[in-house]
């Protein structure tokens, strides 16, 4: 699964990396411990290029009766997207990418869990594959998202049996392309482990209240 991540690259780097066209109004501060229910930066394909904006992390389907449903839908399994009513329609028409610099996962060791920070060896920001939806009831409006997960690659399987889908620069374009339908799911595969690294970090990351740069320091 993916339940915590970070995004601390400057807005200028993100502008170039994700080819954003509406950067003028986006205000972004470095975040080292993004957690479910928080507003996160997401990118969709607009009429004139990629658009960045903020979505609440935890998908609330448009048909949901209770927005609290989002707390249970921070992730979506790539293998069953086309089967689940919450995701099937979104797979064809409401795909997004979620920029990140790294993410966290916890490795079970007996009765304890050791947190790890995982990132690209290059240090570049990357994109998770995501889905988004719009919900409205009685004047209340929400725009929310979920991060798609897949089976672990050889690096991640030493820590956890699942990992977020990380897209390459090429597969990002296909995932965002609104002219591509359900077949876009073919890009939802484990990322090349040779391009990733993981290292143990402090348990400070366990609390979302902690959100400083020290969280990504290696033990």
Q: C-alpha distances in angstroms, 4 versus 1, 10, 92, 119?
A: 9, 19, 26, 13
Quick check: 129 and 120 in contact, CB under 8 A?
no
Residues belonging to the active site? 2, 105
3 state SS of 188: coil
Quick check: 165 and 150 in contact, CB under 8 A?
yes
Quick check: 144 and 155 in contact, CB under 8 A?
no
Residue 87 DSSP symbol: T
Question: In 3D, which of 127, 113, 104, 160 has the Cα closest to residue 20?
Answer: 127
Tokens 């030493």 belong to 158
- In the chain the beta strands, taken as DSSP E runs, fall at 5-7, 31-34, 39-46, 49-57, 75-77, 95-100, 102-109, 112-120, 126-137, 140-151, 162-164, 166-167, 196-200
Strand (E) or helix (H) holding 170:
helix 169-176
């Amino acid at each position: 699964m993916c339940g915590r991540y970070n995004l601390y690259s400057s807005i200028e780097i993100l502008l170039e990396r994700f080819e954003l066209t509406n950067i003028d109004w986006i205000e972004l501060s470095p975040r080292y411990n993004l957690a479910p229910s928080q507003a996160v930066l997401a990118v969709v394909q607009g009429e004139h290029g990629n658009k960045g904006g903020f979505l609440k992390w935890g998908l609330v389907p448009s048909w949901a009766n209770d927005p609290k449903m989002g707390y249970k839908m921070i992730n979506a399994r790539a293998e069953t997207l086309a089967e689940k009513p919450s995701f099937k329609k979104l797979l064809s028409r409401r795909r997004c990418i979620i920029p990140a610099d790294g993410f966290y996962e916890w490795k079970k060791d007996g009765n304890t869990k050791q947190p790890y920070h995982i990132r690209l060896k290059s240090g570049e920001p990357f994109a998770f594959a995501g889905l988004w939806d719009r919900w409205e009831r009685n004047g209340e409006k929400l725009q929310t998202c979920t991060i798609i997960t897949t089976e672990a690659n050889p690096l991640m399987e030493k820590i956890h049996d699942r990992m977020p889908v990380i897209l390459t620069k090429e597969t990002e374009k296909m995932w965002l392309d609104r002219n591509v339908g359900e077949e876009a799911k073919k890009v939802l595969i484990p990322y090349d482990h040779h391009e990733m690294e993981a290292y143990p970090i402090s348990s400070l990351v366990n609390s979302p209240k902690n959100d400083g740069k020290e969280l990504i320091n290696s033990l």
